[in-house]
Amino acid sequence: MVDPDALYVVDGRLWTSAGVTTGIDMALAMVACDVSAGNAGAVAKRLVLYARRPGHQSQFSPLLQAQARADSPFAALIAWILSNLRSPLDVPVLAGRAGLTERTFHRKFAAATGETPGRFVETARLHAARMLL
């Protein structure tokens, strides 16, 4: 069975993953399944990892996709946004940071990332909140 959006797939006794980091997610799930969720959490904490990402979660974050699609000036801005999610991140602030007028920034950011600046910030904040849960 191939599931292009899965971190790992469990099919009976067979567990598979597509890469190294998804293999780590899969290994933590195996520890939780075979031993306990508490032990899996302890291993994740020791390795400084997220304790659990569900196996059905897409391995391609919309934020990472936006970074990959963005032109280089916006890649730096996106990295700054992701590290300043608690700050006010409205179009005037982001346009000033990018050195563009608000109107030009909005148009170019949306063209480069596929999302408006407001939607991007909202998605980034929601993603960060999910990771905290």
The model's pLDDT over 56-86, given as tens digits with 9 standing for 90+, comes to: 455 445 555 555 555 566 888 888 888 899 9
| Whether 55 and 66 share a structural domain | no
Supply the mean pLDDT for the chain.
78
- Would you say residue 21 has pLDDT above 90? no
Collapsing DSSP states into helix, strand and coil, what is residue 109?
Answer: helix
**One domain for residues 68 and 112:** yes
**Helices (DSSP H) in 1-133: which residue ranges?**
20-34, 37-47, 62-69, 72-82, 91-98, 102-113, 117-132
- Out of 44, 59, 74, a domain closes at 59
Same domain, 112 and 90: yes
Q: In this structure, are 91 and 41 located in the same domain? A: no
The tally of domains found in the chain comes to: 2
On whether both 23 and 2 belong to a single domain, the answer is yes
Distance of CA 88 to the CA centre of its chain: 20
pTM of the model: 0.54
CA distance 25 to 31: 10
The last residue of one of the domains, among 38, 59, 80, is 59
Burial code (b: 16+ CB inside 10 Å, e: under 16) for 20-46 equals eebebbbbbbebbeeeeeeebbebbee
More confident residue, 23 or 51: 23
- Domain residues for the domain of 41 are 1-59
Highest mean pLDDT among 26-30, 82-86, 98-102, 111-115: 98-102
What is the mean pLDDT of the segment spanning 26-52?
73
Whole-number pLDDT of residue 60? 47
Same domain, 103 and 84: yes
Residues 74 and 121 occupy one common structural domain: yes
Residues 124 and 81 reside in one and the same domain? yes
Same-domain check for residues 88 and 104: yes
Claim to verify: residue 68 and residue 40 sit in the same structural domain: no
